[in-house]
Amino acid sequence: LGEYNLVLIDQIMALVTTSTLITYTLYSFDSQTALVTDGRMLITVPFVFYFIVRYLYLIHVRHLGGAPDELLFKDRPLLINSLLWMVSVVVLLYVRI
């Protein structure tokens, strides 16, 4: 890792986070997912977007990177967002509305 500079790492993070959001959105649109959730899985995309933006804020602005698992449980907005995402996914997958 010593050969990587911060500019390259930031560019890689931008690429990976964008790819993650696009992939999750495409998964939400997928015909197999739509069969189970009636296309409502798109409701969960803002949770994923917020998670990515909040995480990037925490590591770049507040310099809290290093232990992502600890960060998830220490940052209340990130934890609440994650719990809301999980609840919404479970409801969409297992509760018929």
Q: What's the rounded Cα separation, in Å, for the pair 85 and 62?
A: 24
Q: How many residues does the chain have?
A: 97
Q: Is the pLDDT of residue 2 over 70?
A: yes
Question: Is this prediction's pTM over 0.75?
Answer: yes
Query: Which among 69, 62, 59, 67 is positioned nearest to 17, based on CA atoms?
Result: 59
Per-residue pLDDT tens over the stretch 12-60: 999 999 999 999 999 998 888 888 888 899 999 999 999 999 999 999 9
pLDDT value for 1: 62
Q: What's the rounded Cα separation, in Å, for the pair 13 and 84?
A: 25
**Listed range (9-18, 40-49, 61-70, 74-83) with the worst mean pLDDT:** 61-70
